[in-house]
Structures are given as C-alpha cells and as structure tokens.
C-alpha cells in the first residue's frame, strides 16, 4: 500500500469548489466542546485557536495560516467534539471534508485514516512542541515569580538595615570630622613640624598598590640607606616623588603622622562610600538609576582601588586606562560595581601564589568597555550561571547575610544604565566584562 504525498492528498480531497468556505474576520469557525464533523484545510487567511477553562480563563494555543489543518483531533479521534475555539483573525478561505467523505483510491492508498497518517503525525508533533514551549514558559514564569518574592524580601530587609546603617554612619562621619579638627589643632599647637605629614596623608591618602610600593621601597633603600620597613612606609606615602629633606630628617615620625592623616582620609572616603552602599541596597529591587553627574570612569576605578588598599596588600594591580568620554551616572554606584568585583577577586585569590588583577578600559563605538581580570582559580560552570543571583554565595562566613548581595547589586546598577556584565573563567584567568552605553 502506497502512501500519497501531502500535495497529492490535498489535491484529492481539498480541491472541490463546492467544499470551500469563506470566513469573515472575527467569525467563529469552531466552538470548544461543540460538535465538529469536518476537517478543514486553510487555503488563505489566518485563524487562531483558544482554550478556556470552564469559561473562567482563556488562552491562545495556536495560529493557523495557509497550509494548516484545523479539526484534526476531533475528526480522527472519532469523538467529533472540537478541542478548542477557532476564530478567524483575518478573512479566510478554507476547504473541508466531512465524516461521510469516501476514501479516494482506497485500493491503492488504503482507508482514509491511513492516507491522512502524515497529517495526524504532524499534528501530534506540533502539539508536543507546543506543550514543550508551554512547560518552558511556565518554568521561566515560576523563576521570575520566585525572584520577585526574593527581591521583595530583600527590599524589606534592606529598608531596615539601611535605617540602622544611616544612623551609624552619621555618627561615624560627624565624629571623624570632629576628630580631624581636634588632631589638626593639637598638631599645630604641639608639633607644628608634623602638620605637613599629617596634611599630606589627609589630603591624598595612599594611592599606590602594594606592588608599586615594593618597587619604590627598594629604590629608597638603596638611595637613602633606609631600613626596609621605613622605606616601604615612605614609598606608600610618596610613591611617585623624590624624598625631600623634611621627610628624611626623622622618617619614622614623618610616617607616623602621615599614617594618622591617611587613616582619617580613608575613614572619610569609607563613610561616603557607605552612604552610597546603603542607598544602593535600598534600591536593590529598582530597575532604573538616577543619572545626575558626569563621571570619569577611570577615576571611579582609582577610587575603588583606593578604598580596597587593605584588601590589595598582597595583590598586584595593573590599571591600563583608555581615553574615555565622561559617563552620565552616579559615581558612588559605579565605584560600588568595581569594589564588589575587585573584592570578590581578592577573596578568590587567597590561595593564589602571585595574585594579580588587571583592569583595562576603552571606548568601542558607542560603548565603554571595562574588563577586570584576575589569575585566581576557575569559576565552575554551575557557579558562573548563578553568580549574579541575589541569594547565591560561595562564602560560608563573614558579613554577607547569606545572600551574595555584591555581584547582584553590581548587575542591577549596570543593567540600570542599559549595560551588561558577563563573566568568563578558565584555569588561567577569570574575566569580568562590563559594557556601558554612551550617547554620541
């Protein structure tokens, strides 16, 4: 028994002019659960199928254009009841056969059901594909719902934390300003010669990395005959300058007062940064970010490195800044992006023999590109897929609230600017790539 091809099948059964039907746009062809004894073939136009749940909820389940069959299930299952309501989206022309149609060339091609086997199989395949897509869509919807619930919880948690932190940081900020004033006054009265060292630390802080300080310290040891510890302290204070006479007269005392100024400088910077962090945590569930200033991306990276100098003591940091236009956004939040990524890199490289972080910036057409690379261990694929989730962390201790907030906040900030953040990792290195769109 031969199986007719589809074009032959259509020619045999759906080419009779007396078995065609015109349907106006908006007209109902089939009603769900109502009797249907016809198999339709769409010649032109478009129709849509809908399924309702006891009249309460209605969902679109298919669209049918030219070349599609309608009523396959009710016609060949023998129940003669439409499984969905079919409505013409546009004016449509259909050909049809009914339950009384005799099989054509039955001796050659077999009974009607056998001849239409390819149509039945195709319909089953289409329904299976649709069920698969619906299952995937349902899974995505459930994940989004779970994420929304988590974000709501985080928002409530953040509001309470932010209130307490605002009070605490307000005290730290005001007391550090008062302490700064007291120290300045005392130094001017008791040790005026030390004021210049204190002022240097207060104004500039420590800008160099540990690797830069080591290189400069070796030079200071040879040139000025200093011991290793003192040379290293002076290198941190003056990484790019020749040591003048007043620094060398009593280097230990100069370093002591410089460290006092540096610590107050860092305290002031950390207070400002904490205010930004609190605001960012409060906005954890927001998708937009207020852009109120023109930011130098390279400077924001330098600020992040400065804030993390204690974390970076054993880490070499190489910064390769490109020529970038100003970016319209919040410097505090951008600093937070870099801080979170760099801090995570430091944590990951605790067992790395010679830890290294490389930061590169450049402009590519209408985007700013920032890459932050570290030579720490590879991030496994399962972890990479979840690394930006707000409730995911590989850290088992510390002040992380068990939620892994750092990178989720970084992604929210970057996404709020219409940018993207991605991670790539192998045995040699891990790269975070951030793209920020800019206007012409």
Q: For residue range 57-66, what is the model confidence (pLDDT) as tens digits? A: 788 888 889 9
* Contacts within 8 Å (CB) and 24+ apart, 394-397: 395/347
Q: What is the mean pLDDT of residues 280-299?
A: 66
Which pLDDT score is estimated for 151? 62
Distance (Å) of CA 30 to CA 19, 38, 47, 159, 392:
17, 10, 11, 54, 50
Mean pLDDT of 226-252: 81
Model pLDDT, residue 39:
94
Residue 123 within any structural domain of the chain: no
pTM score? 0.45
Count of domains observed in the chain: 3
CATH number for the domain that contains residue 339: 3.30.565.10
- Is the pLDDT assigned to residue 50 strictly greater than 70? yes
* Residue 399: per-residue pLDDT: 42
% of the chain beyond a pLDDT of 90? 27
Residue 119 has pLDDT above 50, yes or no: yes
Same structural domain for residues 323 and 299? Answer: yes
**Residues 278, 292 within the same domain:** no
Q: Which residue has the tokens 């040891």?
A: 221
On whether the CB atoms of residues 301 and 370 are closer than 8 A, the answer is yes
- Of 375 and 270, the one with more pLDDT: 375
Residue 53 has pLDDT above 90, yes or no: no
CATH of residue 32's domain is 2.60.120.10
Residue 139 lies in a domain: no
Beta bridge partners of 431: 373, 424
**Are both 276 and 296 inside the same structural domain?**
no
Residue 129 lies in a domain: no
Is residue 136 included in any domain, yes or no?
A: no
Higher-pLDDT residue of 130 and 413 is 413
Residue 279, pLDDT > 50, answer: yes
- pLDDT above 80: residue 405: no
What pLDDT, on a 0 to 100 scale, did the predictor assign at position 395?
Answer: 64
Residue 127 lies in a domain: no
Q: Is residue 278 over pLDDT 80? A: no
Helix (H, G, I), strand (E, B) or coil at 435: strand
Residue 217 CB coordination number (10 Å):
21
Check whether residue 270 and residue 290 sit in a common domain: no
DSSP secondary structure letters along 140-186: HHHHHHHHHHHHHHHHHHHHHHHHHHHHHHHHHHHHHHHHHHHHHHH
308 and 417 in one domain? yes
Residues β-bridged to residue 320: 360
How many whole angstroms separate alpha carbon 132 and alpha carbon 128?
6
Q: Is residue 391 in some structural domain?
A: yes
Residue 138 lies in a domain: no
DSSP class of residue 32 equals T
Q: Are residues 319 and 384 in the same domain?
A: yes
Q: 266 with 234, same domain?
A: yes
Q: Do 212 and 313 form a contact (C-beta atoms < 8 A)?
A: no
For residues 322 and 139, which has the higher predicted lDDT (pLDDT)?
A: 322
Last residue in a domain, options 285, 304, 327: 285
Say whether both 25 and 66 belong to one domain: yes
Cα–Cα dist 30/84, whole Å: 7
Check whether residue 190 and residue 92 sit in a common domain: no
Q: β-strands 38-44, 69-70: how paired?
A: antiparallel
Segment of 51-60, 66-75, 114-123 carrying the highest mean pLDDT = 66-75
Domain for residue 137, yes or no?
no
Average confidence (pLDDT) over 381-408:
68
**Do 108 and 253 reside in the same domain of the chain?**
no
Asked if 304 and 352 sit in the same domain, the reply is: yes
Domain that holds residue 69: 6-115
The whole-number pLDDT of residue 400 equals: 40
pLDDT tens readout for residues 358-380? 999 999 888 999 999 999 999 88
Is the pLDDT at 289 greater than 70? The verdict is: no
The residue-averaged pLDDT of 116-124 equals: 85
Residues 290-300 have a mean pLDDT of 81
Q: What band does 300 get if pLDDT is binned at 50, 70 and 90?
A: very high
Q: Sorting pLDDT into bands at 50, 70 and 90, what band is 96?
A: very high
Q: What integer is the mean pLDDT of 212-226?
A: 83
User: Is there a single domain that holds both residue 103 and residue 251?
Assistant: no
**Mean pLDDT over the full length of the chain:** 83
């Amino acid at each position: 028994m031969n199986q007719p091809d589809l074009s032959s099948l259509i020619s045999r059964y759906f080419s009779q002019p007396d078995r065609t039907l015109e349907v106006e746009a908006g007209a109902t062809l089939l009603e769900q659960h109502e009797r249907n004894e016809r198999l339709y073939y769409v010649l032109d136009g478009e129709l849509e199928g809908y399924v309702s749940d006891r009249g309460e909820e209605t969902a679109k389940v298919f669209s049918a254009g030219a070349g599609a069959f309608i009523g396959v299930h009710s016609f060949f299952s023998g129940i003669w009841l439409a499984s969905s309501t079919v409505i013409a989206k546009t004016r449509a022309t259909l050909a049809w056969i009914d339950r009384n149609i005799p099989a054509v060339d039955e001796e050659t091609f077999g009974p009607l059901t056998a001849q239409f086997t390819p149509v039945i199989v195709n319909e089953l395949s289409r329904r299976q594909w649709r069920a698969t897509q619906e299952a995937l869509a349902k899974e995505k919807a459930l994940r989004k719902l779970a994420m929304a619930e988590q974000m709501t919880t985080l928002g409530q948690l953040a509001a309470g934390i932010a209130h307490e932190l605002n009070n605490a940081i307000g005290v730290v900020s005001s007391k550090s300003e008062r302490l700064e004033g007291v120290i300045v006054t005392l130094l001017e009265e008791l040790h005026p010669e030390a004021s210049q060292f204190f002022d240097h630390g207060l104004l500039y802080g420590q800008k160099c990395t540990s690797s830069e300080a080591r290189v400069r310290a070796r030079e200071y040891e040879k040139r000025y005959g200093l011991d290793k510890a003192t040379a290293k302290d002076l290198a941190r204070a003056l990484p790019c300058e020749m040591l003048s006479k007043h620094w060398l007269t009593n280097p230990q005392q100069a370093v002591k007062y410089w460290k006092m100024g540096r610590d107050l400088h860092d305290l002031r910077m950390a207070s400002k940064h904490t205010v930004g962090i609190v605001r960012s945590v409060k906005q954890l569930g927001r998708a937009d970010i207020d852009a109120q200033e023109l930011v130098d991306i390279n400077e924001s990276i330098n600020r992040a490195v400065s804030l993390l100098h204690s974390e970076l003591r054993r880490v070499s940091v190489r910064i390769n800044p490109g020529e970038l236009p100003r970016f319209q956004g919040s410097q505090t939040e951008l600093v937070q992006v870099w801080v979170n990524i760099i801090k995570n890199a430091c944590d990951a490289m605790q067992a790395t023999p010679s830890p290294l972080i490389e930061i590169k910036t450049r402009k590519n057409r209408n985007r700013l590109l920032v890459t932050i690379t570290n030579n720490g261990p590879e991030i496994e694929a399962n972890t990479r897929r979840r690394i930006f989730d707000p409730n995911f962390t590989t850290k088992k201790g510390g002040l992380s609230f068990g939620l892994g907030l750092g990178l989720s906040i970084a992604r929210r900030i970057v996404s709020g600017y219409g940018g993207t953040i991605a991670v790539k990792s192998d045995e040699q290195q891990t790269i975070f790539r951030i793209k920020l769109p800019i206007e012409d």
